[in-house]
Each structure stands twice: as structure tokens, then as C-alpha cells.
Amino acid sequence: MRAQKNDVPSNSSLRCFLRPESSWSIQIIVMTTSTSQSLRTLGNSDLQLTAIGFGAWAIGGGNWEFAWGPQDDNESIEAIHRALDLGVNWIDTAAIYGLGHSEEVVGQALKSHTGPKPLVFTKCSMRWHKDRSIYRSLKAGSLQEELEGSLRRLGVETIDLYQIHWPNPESEIEEGWEALARFQEQGKVRSIGVSNFSVEQMKRAQKIAPITSLQPPYSMLRRAVEEEILPFAAANGIGVINYSPMVSGLLTGSMTAERIAAFPADDWRRRSIEFNEPKLSRNLQLVELLREIGSSHEVSPGVVAVAWTLQNPAITAAIVGGRSGKQVEGLAPALEFRLSKDEYARINAFLAANPA
């Protein structure tokens, strides 16, 4: 049996990924899935997303605090092009990824790609000094500098979704959100969102301007947002694009204890509890269950992991990273693959029996 094709776009519908014109009016729209195309409306915006987007964290390269180790820029550009050619219609990056380098690579890929232009999302609030140390600011002037830098590196006139990366410093949330609302009014960004915000922090932002989207970590190993945050987003028409659905590569099916032990010294995953014992053995056992489920559909464990997050009705779309064209090809089935109720229940039964 091959991948289940629920709401699968035809090849002709994949050409409808150019940005629609925006009237800059605010409309409250409950998250929906288009019946004519496999596209999902993001929150209160007119942004139409494929079920997965290309995540550009890892392509920022090495030599910074949250690096994934060295990365070849040509492979990164190939990965982006392959994702777009296979039907992905949005890219998520951040100024801090690679200290500006990820945005530069995305900009190069956009410039050299001949097909329809994807939607481009980026994030602000994390900055860096000349010595590459990171600091955080939500001051209006700082965000203005970040926005101009992101526009320049990406080579675009307008950013489709501009997000506060982290609610830090917390005392500056209101000033930061007011700045993003102003950027939207000026037409420099189409929609504005938040990332890693709590319910109370989102309520503070809502008093100033509507929130289009939330970007939280969400996977079968990181489920804290299920209790309050996802229900709040759904009740308030806030779109959700979850990051790390495969737990930073852990659930892809290509990870082993030996490979993890050989990570480059600057790979941040060396410090992650999920990549270390006592959790690692349990997590690799979970991967084998995902592999078993995926094998009957000819998809990888990573695709199954992404599909598990998309099963939650509060999730609009998932961010899926890739560092090469080959990796992207292996994960592209997540555009259309969906779990059956029985498969979903099997995974949840394992998680219940083997708590994190």
C-alpha cells in the first residue's frame, strides 16, 4: 500500500502557489483546509499553506550557539529548490539561524529558482554581537534594524509572515508587538505571528493587535502545548505552524546511537536530553514503531512523525527541515500522507506505555 492521499493536490493545483494580493484588512478566519487545493488558511490571514513547509534552521551552518554543524550552501540551495519543485509552498527561517546566514542562503535560493515564488516567513528578537554571542531585544528600534536586515538578506520587498522568535525580554513584549503591527500597517510584512509564547503572553499581545499565528515546538516527544496552548490557539482563530515535528532529526529513521555520538562538536543536539540516555534508547525504540507503520505505506519514520502532529486539528501545518535534496525527497510524502485512526492509536498507546 502506498501513501494515503487524503486532500492531495493535483499537479495543476501546485502551480497556484504565487502570493495572493493582500488588501491588508484584518479578517477573522477559522483555520480551514481548501477543498479545491490541499492548502490550509493560516489563522486570520490570506496565506494559503501546504501541509508542510521547508525549515531553514539547519542550513544556517556551523560556528554559532545553536548550530547543527557544518553545512554546504550548495546542498542547502539544492534542498530548497527540490522542496519547491515537489510542491512545498512556504519557507520558514529566522535572522538568528547562522547569524544571518540562513536568510542569505534562502535569498540565493529564491533568486535562482525559476518556478513560482514561495511564501517566506522569518523571525526576530534574537541578535548577535561581533564576537557571535547572542542577545535578545524586543525594542522597537532593534526590531526595525532586524526587519531591514532580513529584507536585505532575503532579497524580498515584503515578508509574508514576521514572527517574534522568543518572548524575551518579557518586559518588552508589548513594545515588540506594537512594532510588528506597525510594520504590517506599513506593508513591510503581510502578517504577524509569535513563536514560543504562552497563553498569557498571547493574551497580552492580543490587546494590541490580532495574532495571525503561533509557532511552538510540537511532536510526539514534546506535547506540553496540548494542554492549554493549542486549545487557546484554536479557540481564537490563531494558526499554528509547529516546529521540530521530528525532534530535530531524532525521529527520521536515520539516527543511531553511533551517529549521535559522532555529531560535530558544535552540534547543539549533543546537549539535548532527547539525544542522550536514559531517553535515547526509548526514543529509538519509538522510531522502530514508526518505521513499521511507515513501511506498509513506503514512507519513512520521519514522515509518520510529521503526520502524527498534523493529526491534531489545531495544527495548520508543520515545519520540516532538510539539508540536501535527497533528504527533502524522503520527507516530501508528508505533504499528503495521513495516519489512519488505528495507526494513530498505536503510536499513542506506545507513548502512554513508555512515558517521556
Rg over CA atoms, the chain: 19
Among candidate residues 97, 162, 218, 243, the one labeled active-site is: 97
What pLDDT, on the 0 to 100 scale, is given for residue 260? 78
Angle made by CA atoms 291, 295, 298, in degrees to the nearest 5? 125
Q: Residue 34 pLDDT more than 90?
A: no
46 grid coordinates: 490570506
Cβ atoms of residues 103 and 95 within 8 Å:
yes
Give tens-digit pLDDT for 164-212: 999 999 999 999 999 999 999 999 999 999 999 999 999 999 999 999 9
What pLDDT, on the 0 to 100 scale, is given for residue 296? 94
pTM recorded for the entire structure: 0.85
Share of the chain above pLDDT 70, in %: 89
Give tens-digit pLDDT for 258-304: 777 777 878 777 777 777 778 877 888 898 999 999 999 999 999 99
Helix (H) or strand (E) holding 344: helix 341-353
Q: Residue 79 pLDDT more than 70?
A: yes
Q: Annotated catalytic, 162?
A: no
Q: Rounded to whole angstroms, how far apart are CA atoms 5 and 17?
A: 20
Give tens-digit pLDDT for 225-239: 999 999 999 999 999
Give tens-digit pLDDT for 80-101: 999 999 999 999 999 999 999 9
Q: Residue 14 pLDDT more than 70?
A: no
Helix (H, G, I), strand (E, B) or coil at 44: coil
Q: Rounded to whole angstroms, how far apart are CA atoms 53 and 119?
A: 9
Q: Rounded to whole angstroms, how far apart are CA atoms 309 and 311?
A: 5
What pLDDT, on the 0 to 100 scale, is given for residue 272? 78
